[in-house]
Amino acid sequence: MSNSGRSHTPSDGDGDGASAMHSVEIHQQYRGFKAVYYNPVIQVVFLGFVCFMGPGLFNALNGLGGGGMLDATTSANANSALYATFAVAAFFAGSINNVLGSRLTLLLGTTGYALYIGSYLAYNIHPNMGAFVIAAGAYLGISAGLLWTAQGSLMLAYPTEDQKGKFIGIFWSIFNLGGVVGAAVSLGNNFDNTVLTNGTYIGFVVLTGIGVLIPLLMANPLKMIRTDGTRVVTPRHPSWRSEFYGLWITLRRDPWICFLFPMFFTSNWFYTWQFNDYNGALFTIRARALNNLIYWLSQIVGSVSIGFLLDQRSLTRRFRAFTGWCVLLVMVFVVHTWAYFYQKDYTRDTIADKIDIHESPYVSRLWLYIFCGLLDAMWQTTAYWFMGAMSNDPAKLANFSGFYKSLQSAGAAGIWRGDAMKLPFMNIFISTWVLLVAGLIFALPMIHMRVKETTEETDETLCVLPSAIFWPLTFPLLVMRMAAPLRCLSTYLFLGLHSALRTSSAFRLPPLIFRVVLCCGAR
């Protein structure tokens, strides 16, 4: 066989990972056609086109505001149902992916997109079919949970440690091309229309149907070899009970992932204001389509640029992590400070005539939308990079991705429902700004304590299912494991409070008390 050659590094045995070193096998790379087909970059390109044809076209439709409809209420309710079921499905999708395998999970995950976009076509023809659109949204939530979890597992497992930013950037660029192509199609078909035509919806349905077939062309992950000669670690397929218990094990053994949960929660929250309350509220359908096209183009720039930064070998891994965090913080404040000066001038009841592409206020508002796209791509790419910095194991990364998509969808379900209930635009805007900042603050202790120059083998260990007698002991163990992260967070908060109080002569903490609290928090 072409991959039979291998070398071994000395190993002390096959222990539980806590005390034993794991052997490292270097496999000979494939040759000829197999060298191309089994190349990790090629497989990530395949993965990108799966999402190009599904989520990418969904984004193009959703990015128009209200799915291209004049009344966005049905679309907002469908999105709320979508993300509600997504939140539940994604939480367990990591375990389902480990049992069914990534290719089958991807295949099942693509089916919901064709049905969902087809429901918009049906609604455009028969306006009394709003319930069907909402039901299709609920089904899409289940299938999307499967797709995105399998995608996250493969995208983070195929690259070596110093390639993860590059691979995420490649995937995100191809995925966002779906939004670009879809937006270009809708712009061309509707340049002189006030609503989306049936032809636009039909074209989207055909493309998403093609996307269902792409996972069948992808390689078996069992046969994949990374560029450094190491095999991709494939997850075991034990019982369903063991797989679901793996979610608990992930939290218990790596509680630092909890500090990324606020970042996960807010990672789709901003879409509601961007798509419905800004693009959909202020612009004509022609301007919305052009905005949508440029928005997804800007996402390609954002994902590639932040991925390039996060993979700079001349910088330490920890420095890259903190630099990425700082870039996000700056972008959050630039975008939302800028947007505030537009948002304060309109409400749901005071919107005048829609802005078209020939009008003078259009250009500056388009530039804001471009920066919104940059921020979105940078946020998603950095979140995946943080997860990839914590582990190289596909099973563990599948669970991380499941947590990511579950919490992301829980937040999105709530805010889309709020938009359907006509919450004030300003309330949605301010909540977006606050939650983005909070997500970054909570992520900071994880970056400081958990991101290392390389991922250790002990981080990849999967725990065996204990007997029932040990189940009552797991909760106290988790509390003990969470103690260090909580102390670290309290230290950051205390340092920030102390720094603020020092600026006032009325508040001075005695040096002894400061040292005692700092020592206890950092212990």
pLDDT in tens, 380-397: 989 988 888 887 776 777
Task: Tell me what pLDDT residue 25 has.
Answer: 76
pLDDT at 101 over 70: yes
pLDDT attached to residue 203: 87
Among 89-93, 101-105, 504-508, where is mean pLDDT lowest? 504-508
Residue 470 has pLDDT above 60, yes or no: no
For 275-310, write each residue's pLDDT tens digit. 989 998 899 888 888 998 899 889 889 988 988 888
Alpha carbons 92 and 114: distance in angstroms, whole number:
23
According to the model, what pLDDT value does residue 163 have? 81
| pLDDT tier for residue 378 given thresholds of 50, 70 and 90 | very high
* Mean pLDDT within 407-434: 90
- What pLDDT does 258 receive? 87
Give the C-alpha separation, 115 to 113, whole Å.
5
The pLDDT of residue 466 is 41
Average pLDDT, the chain: 77
3-state secondary structure of 355: strand
Helix, strand, or coil (residue 354): coil
Q: Quick check: 15 pLDDT over 60?
A: no
pLDDT for the residue 195 = 66
Q: What is the structure's pLDDT at 99?
A: 81
CA atoms of 321 and 311, how far apart (whole Å): 10
Structure confidence by residue, pLDDT tens digits, 331-362: 999 999 999 999 998 988 887 688 898 998 99
Identify whether the C-beta of residue 57 lies closer than 8 Å to the C-beta of residue 207: yes
* 263-301 as b/e: b if 16+ CB within 10 A: bbbbbbbbbbbbbbbbbbbbbbbbbbbbbbbbbbbbbbb
In which region does residue 22 sit, left (phi positive, over 0), alpha (psi from -120 to 50) or beta (all else)?
beta
Collect contacts of 67-74 with beta carbons under 8 A, ≥24 apart: 67/120, 67/196, 68/120, 68/186, 68/190, 68/195, 68/196, 68/200, 68/285, 69/123, 69/195, 69/196, 70/194, 70/195, 72/276, 72/280, 72/419, 73/420, 74/123, 74/130, 74/133, 74/134
Indicate the domain borders of the chain: 32-452, 474-522
Give the CA count within 13 Å in the CB-facing half-sphere of 466: 10
Question: Mind listing the pLDDT tens digit for each residue in 448-461?
Answer: 888 877 766 555 44
Amino acid (1-letter code) at residue 375: L
Given a cut of 50, whether residue 242 has pLDDT beyond it is: yes
pLDDT band at 162 (very low <50, low <70, confident <90, very high): confident
Confidence of residue 67 (pLDDT cuts 50, 70, 90): low
Mention every residue, 6+ apart, whose C-beta is less than 8 A from residue 297: 176, 180, 373
Q: Which of 166, 141, 145, 143 is nearest to 156 (CA)?
A: 166
Each residue's pLDDT tens digit, 245-285: 777 777 777 788 888 899 999 999 999 999 989 998 899 88
Residue entry with tokens 């799966």: 50
When mean pLDDT is compared across 129-138, 146-155, 474-483, the lowest value belongs to 474-483
List the one residue out of 171, 111, 169 whose CA is nearest residue 306. 169
Give the separation between CA 161 and CA 118, rounded to whole angstroms: 40
Amino acid identity at 255? P
**Rg, Å, the chain Cα set:** 24
CATH of domain 32-452: 1.20.1250.20
pLDDT band for position 477 (cuts 50, 70, 90): very low
| Lowest pLDDT segment from 151-160, 185-194, 423-432 | 185-194
Please, are residues 103 and 220 in contact by the beta-carbon 8 Å criterion?
Answer: yes
DSSP-assigned states of every residue in 201-259: HHHHHHHHHHHTTGGGGSPPGGG-B-TTSPBPPPPP---HHHHHHHHHHHHHH-GGGGG
pLDDT at 229: 76
Q: Give φ, ψ of 251 to 5 degrees.
A: -70, -40
